[in-house]
Amino acid sequence: MHLTVLSRSNAIYTTRRIVEAARARGHSTRVLDPLDVQMGLGGDAPALYWRRRRFPATDVVVPRVGLSIHQYGLAVVNQLELLGVPTLNGAWGIAASRNKMRSLQLLAASGVRVPRTVMASDPSRLKEMVRVVGGVPVLVKLLAVNEKSGVMICESLQSLEAALEAILGLGQNIVVQQYLRGAKGRDLRVLVVGGEVVAAMRRSPPIGRFARNLRRGARFEPVELPATYARTAVDAARVLRLEVCAVDMLDVKGVPRVFEVNSSPSIREAEVACGVDAAGRIVERAVALAEARGRAASPRRPLRGRAVRAQG
């Protein structure tokens, strides 16, 4: 089995661990930078190239599309899907998860509970917005998919007004969302792979900071996830059609409410805090998808050759 990881660098922790896990299981693996991939349309079939040569043959692709190259990376994943290549997270799911309001709309419409949320376009209606979500403090999120620092906490109406005026003045749309004061122990991250919970963690930001990962100082500790919470995380992944994702949720009076789903999560936190082989689970799911696609493919139209070898 050959596995390709789309990633800017094989030095990134998650990318490196996926490569290690695949090779430990006897699979050949390569890492390709999405920006080195070229796409062509308008001929007999969609074309795909890597550094102006024929795209290397592969059985399955694991996209690790970063926010900084979201649009181009998404186009590469789309092209792979057009060619019939199995991808562990498709373009639809990645795009839906990156659009914060759209993902919440999809989740709510499918019965997955989400925090009270409003979308802001006019800072003049601040008081009404705050009242709708239950008062301050609130989360303020940029809707731009390529914004790396797009989340902040506003503890007062004055700080919210200042934040909105600055952000909306730049032409950015935002989401204002319920947040719980003193939410220690209520902020959970759940890693889901192939419709199963792989790891569950409680997150505690440093005092005075709102951090979502280890590099920014957040502390993670493993938790036993109640069945209701596990079902909610799995349902969120299913609704957004994601094979691999991190589901972020709050415990609101004993009820899980999903406030974000990350389609390209770091697995460092799960492996370090929970001691699980998250990379191995990802590889095993990728292999299972490739094998299932291979069984379903017509013998006269072998997947491997048609899917990834563009005409040069």
- pLDDT tens for residues 212-242? 444 455 788 999 999 999 999 999 999 999 9
pLDDT, mean over the chain: 85
Nearest-angstrom CA–CA distance, 225 and 65 = 28
Contacts of 6 (CB under 8 A, 6+ apart): 32, 33, 34, 37, 61, 62, 63, 64, 65, 73, 76, 77
pLDDT class of 171 with cuts at 50, 70, 90: low
Position 8 pLDDT exceeds 50: yes
pLDDT class of 43 with cuts at 50, 70, 90: confident
Position 144 pLDDT exceeds 70: no
Tokens of 94: 């990645």
pLDDT class of 251 with cuts at 50, 70, 90: confident
Q: Which domains are assigned to the chain?
A: 2-89+277-308 (3.40.50.20), 117-178 (3.30.1490.20), 183-263 (3.30.470.20)
